[in-house]
């Protein structure tokens, strides 16, 4: 009887151990430094060095990181807003883990917090921001929790105003009115000819500053980098990821059309656009 009880206890213990080993960890500590920040905000913020906790709760992965301010910028004043910021989870070799791309929680208000942080924060200040992602597969969760050792941050800043970029059009030519000026009369002896002030022509429509095109090209470059990152991390059969990838491609296609019909860029900016378009085309 005693032997039987011992065997039962041992079996229960083994079952508990096996269950624990087969379960998905609830959290994992990630100690990082010099985290790679990609895209438009790479000169504005960095990820503060330290230890962060990747959490798993009810099939939702979440990771709260501290953004450290490097440079102030008033995005609203420039007519800009945050695009999609993504945390790409990496393995010990620095490779992206397929299907592991955490984003802002829609209800978190993170976008507005970051915009205000960039505008009014003190250089060196930090802001805690949470990224998350739903993962329904337990096997996928287990793999992500096991393989993740660090992460990188992809940032996008884009124009608030939708639609095509403003184009510079030639100044409209107005029909010339018939001249009502009488022919100049030859002055008589002892008379002087009155001096007249020539009319000044209206100022021509200013050309869009080259700095504006540089900003648009920066946004174009970041959008392409994000597309390539999404494609590299795409998991076959992930309908949501495929939808987001197609949406990103459509966005880049629209931006490409704007550049192709725009005018006013310098030769260097046109060359940069062609190189970026080639990069996107090669990415497929």
Question: Tell me: the pLDDT tens digits for 148-193?
Answer: 999 999 998 888 765 443 443 444 444 445 544 555 555 555 555 5
70 near 45, Cβ under 8 Å? yes
Which pLDDT belongs to residue 4? Answer: 58
Backbone angles phi, psi at 138, to 5 degrees: -65, -35
Which pLDDT belongs to residue 73? Answer: 92
Who contacts 27 (Cβ-Cβ below 8 Å, separation ≥6)?
A: 53, 54, 55, 56
Backbone angles phi, psi at 38, to 5 degrees: -110, 145
| pTM of the model as a whole | 0.54
Which pLDDT belongs to residue 104? Answer: 83
Which residue is associated with the tokens 């805690």? 128
Which pLDDT belongs to residue 99? Answer: 81
Which pLDDT belongs to residue 199? Answer: 47
Residues 58, 134: Cα–Cα separation, whole Å: 9
Which pLDDT belongs to residue 90? Answer: 93
Record the tokens describing residue 220, joined without a space: 């174009």
223 near 282, Cβ under 8 Å? no
66 near 122, Cβ under 8 Å? no
Which pLDDT belongs to residue 20? Answer: 46
Residues 153, 155: Cα–Cα separation, whole Å: 6
59 near 23, Cβ under 8 Å? no
Which pLDDT belongs to residue 173? Answer: 44
61: nearest Cα among 72, 70, 53, 49 = 53
Burial class (CB in 10 A: 0-12, 13-18, 19+), 90: buried
Residues 65, 127: Cα–Cα separation, whole Å: 8
Which pLDDT belongs to residue 82? Answer: 87
- Per DSSP, the three-state class of 210 is helix
Regions of the chain where pLDDT drops below 50: 14, 17-21, 163-176, 179-180, 197-207
- Per DSSP, the three-state class of 23 is coil
Backbone angles phi, psi at 134, to 5 degrees: -85, 130
Residues 200, 198: Cα–Cα separation, whole Å: 6
Which pLDDT belongs to residue 190? Answer: 54
120-158 in b/e form (b: 16+ CB < 10 A) is ebeeeebbebebbbebeeeebbbbbbebbbbbbbbbbbb
Which pLDDT belongs to residue 47? Answer: 97
């Amino acid at each position: 009887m005693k032997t039987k009880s011992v065997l039962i206890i041992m079996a229960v213990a083994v079952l508990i151990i096996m269950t624990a080993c087969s379960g998905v960890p609830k959290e994992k500590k990630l100690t990082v430094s010099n985290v790679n920040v990609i895209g438009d905000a790479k000169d504005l913020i960095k990820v503060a060095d330290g230890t962060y906790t990747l959490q798993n709760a009810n099939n939702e992965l979440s990771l709260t990181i501290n953004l450290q301010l490097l440079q102030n910028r008033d995005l609203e004043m420039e007519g800009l807003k945050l695009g999609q910021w993504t945390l790409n989870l990496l393995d010990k070799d620095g490779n992206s883990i397929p299907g592991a791309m955490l984003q802002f929680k829609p209800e978190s208000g993170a976008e507005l917090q970051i915009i205000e942080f960039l505008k009014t924060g003190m250089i060196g200040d930090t802001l805690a921001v949470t990224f998350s992602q739903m993962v329904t597969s337990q096997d996928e969760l287990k793999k992500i929790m096991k393989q993740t050792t660090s992460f990188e941050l992809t940032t996008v800043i884009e124009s608030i105003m939708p639609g095509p970029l403003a184009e510079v059009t030639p100044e409209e030519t107005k029909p010339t009115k018939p001249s009502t000026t009488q022919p100049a009369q030859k002055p008589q002896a002892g008379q002087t000819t009155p001096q007249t002030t020539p009319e000044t022509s209206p100022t021509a429509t200013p050309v869009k500053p080259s700095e504006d095109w540089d900003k648009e090209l920066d946004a174009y470059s970041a959008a392409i980098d994000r597309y390539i990152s999404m494609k590299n991390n795409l998991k076959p059969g992930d309908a949501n990821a495929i939808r987001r990838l197609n949406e990103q491609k459509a966005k880049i296609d629209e931006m490409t059309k704007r550049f192709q019909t725009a005018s006013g860029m310098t030769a260097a900016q046109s060359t940069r656009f062609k190189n970026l378009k080639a990069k996107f085309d090669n990415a497929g």
